[in-house]
A and B are shown apart, each in its own frame.
Chain A
Amino acid sequence: MSIGSPKHPATGSTRTEAATGDPLGPVVKRWQFRFPKSLRTPLGFVGAAILVIWLILAIFAPLVAPFDPLAQDFPRLTGPGAENILGTDTLGRDVFSRIVVAARTTLPAAVFVVICSALLGSVLGAIAGYFGRAVDEIIMRIADLVFAFPTIILAMVIAAALGPGLKNAIIAILLVSWPSYARVTRSLVMTARSSEYVIAGRLLGFSAGRSLLREIAPNVISPVIVLATLDVGSAILTMAGLSFLSLGAVPPTPDWGAMISEGVSQFAAWWIAFFPGLCILTIVMAFNFIGDSLRDSLDPHTAQEVGETTS
Chain B
Amino acid sequence: MKRLTRNFVAICSTLALTAGLAACSGGSDDSGGAGDTIVAETAFNLKTIDPHRQFEFTGSTIDNAVYQTALEFEDGDLTKPTDGLCSFEMSDDDKEMTLTLKDKDAKFSNGDPVTVDDIVFSFERLQGIKGNPSFFLDGVKVKKVDDETVKLISKDPNPALPYILPNASIGIVNSKVVKDNEGTTDENDGAEQFLNENSQGSGPYKVEKYDADSQVVLTANEHYSGPKPKFKRVVLRNVSAETQLTDIQSGQAQVAYDLNADQAKQIDESMGKISSLPSTRSLYIFNNTDEKLGGPAADPNFRKAVMAAIDYDKLVDLAGEGSQRMASLVPNEFVGAVSKDDAPERDLAKAKALLKKAGYDGEKIPFHYPSDQAVNGVDLAQLAETLQAQLKEADINLDLKPAPSSTQLDGFRSAKQPMGIGTWGADFPDPTNYNVFIPGGSVAERVNWGKDADPKLAELAAEASKAKDSDRDAAYKKLYKATTDTGVWIPLVQPVDTVAVGSSIQKFVSNADTSFDFAKAE
- Report A's interface with B, CB cutoff 8 A: 70-72, 76-77, 90-91, 160, 163-164, 246, 250-252, 262, 264-269
Q: Tell whether B291 is near chain A: CB-to-CB under 8 Å.
A: no
Cβ contacts under 8 Å, B384 to chain A: 251
| Contact (A265, B241) CB under 8 Å given A90-B262, A246-B371, A246-B372 | yes
B:372-413 near A, CB below 8 Å: 372, 374, 379, 381-382, 384-386, 388-389, 400-404
Q: Verify A251–B402 contact, CB threshold 8 A.
A: yes
Q: Can you show 5 pairs from A to B with CB atoms below 8 A apart?
A: A72-B389, A91-B389, A160-B404, A164-B403, A267-B242
Q: Tell whether B245 is near chain A: CB-to-CB under 8 Å.
A: yes
Determine which of A70, A246, A269 lies in contact with B381 in the assembled complex, contact meaning CB atoms within 8 Å: A246
Interface of A is mostly: loop
| Contact (A268, B385) CB under 8 Å given A164-B402, A164-B403, A246-B372 | no
Q: Verify A268–B266 contact, CB threshold 8 A.
A: yes
| Contact (A252, B404) CB under 8 Å given A246-B372, A246-B381 | no
A38 and B484 alpha carbons, distance in the complex (Å): 68
Q: Verify A246–B402 contact, CB threshold 8 A.
A: yes
Interface of B is mostly: helix
Q: How far is the CB of B35 from chain A (nearest CB, A)?
A: 30
Q: Tell whether B260 is near chain A: CB-to-CB under 8 Å.
A: yes
The size bracket of the interface on B is: 20 to 34
Cβ contacts under 8 Å, A164 to chain B: 371, 402-403
Determine which of B262, B318, B371, B388 lies in contact with A252 in the assembled complex, contact meaning CB atoms within 8 Å: B388
The 4 closest A-B CB pairs, nearest first, are: A246-B371, A252-B385, A251-B385, A72-B389
Q: Verify B381–A72 contact, CB threshold 8 A.
A: no
A77 and B265 alpha carbons, distance in the complex (Å): 12
A267 and B401 alpha carbons, distance in the complex (Å): 27
A90 and B318 alpha carbons, distance in the complex (Å): 8
A269 and B287 alpha carbons, distance in the complex (Å): 35
Q: How far is the CB of A248 from chain B (nearest CB, A)?
A: 10
Q: Verify A77–B262 contact, CB threshold 8 A.
A: yes
Name which residue of chain B comes closest to A163, CB basis.
B403
A250 and B242 alpha carbons, distance in the complex (Å): 25
Name which residue of chain B comes closest to A266, CB basis.
B262
12 more contacts with CB within 8 A, not counting A72-B386, A265-B379, are A76-B262, A76-B317, A90-B262, A91-B385, A91-B389, A160-B404, A164-B371, A250-B400, A251-B381, A251-B384, A251-B385, A252-B389
Q: Verify B389–A71 contact, CB threshold 8 A.
A: yes
Chain B window 120-150, contacts with chain A (Cβ cutoff 8 Å), 1 for yes, 0 for no: 0000000000000000000000000000000
A107 and B18 alpha carbons, distance in the complex (Å): 44
Cβ contacts under 8 Å, B400 to chain A: 250-252
